[in-house]
Amino acid sequence: MPDLSVRQSILTELISRVSAIAVANGYQTDAGLRLFVGELPALGPDDPDAALALIVRDEQAADLSGYGEAPDGIILSVLPVEVQAVVKADLEQPWVSVEGVIADIKQAVETNDRSLGGVLALPLKRGRTRAFPREPGSTVVGAGVPYLATFAESWGGGAV
- The partner residues of 101 in beta bridges, in order of sequence, read none
Q: Residue 35 interacts with another protein (CB under 8 A)?
A: no
CA 125 – CA 150 distance, rounded (Å): 9
Size of the site for another protein (CB under 8 A): 28
Q: What is residue 33's DSSP assignment? A: G
Q: Residue 47 interacts with another protein (CB under 8 A)?
A: yes
Distances (CA, A) of 98 to 28, 36, 53: 11, 19, 15
Mark the segment that binds another protein (CB under 8 A) among 1-9, 66-74, 82-90, 99-107: 82-90
Q: Residue 85 interacts with another protein (CB under 8 A)?
A: yes
CA dihedral 66, 150, 145, 128 (to 10 degrees): -80
Residue type at position 119: V
Q: Residue 37 interacts with another protein (CB under 8 A)?
A: no
Cβ count near 125 (within 10 Å): 14
Q: Residue 71 interacts with another protein (CB under 8 A)?
A: no
Query: What is the C-alpha radius of gyration for the chain, rounded to an integer number of angstroms?
Result: 18
Q: Which of 8, 25, 111, 138 binds another protein (CB under 8 A)?
A: 138
Binding map of another protein across residues 86-125, x = CB under 8 A, - = no contact: x-x--xx---------------------------------
Q: Residue 38 interacts with another protein (CB under 8 A)?
A: no
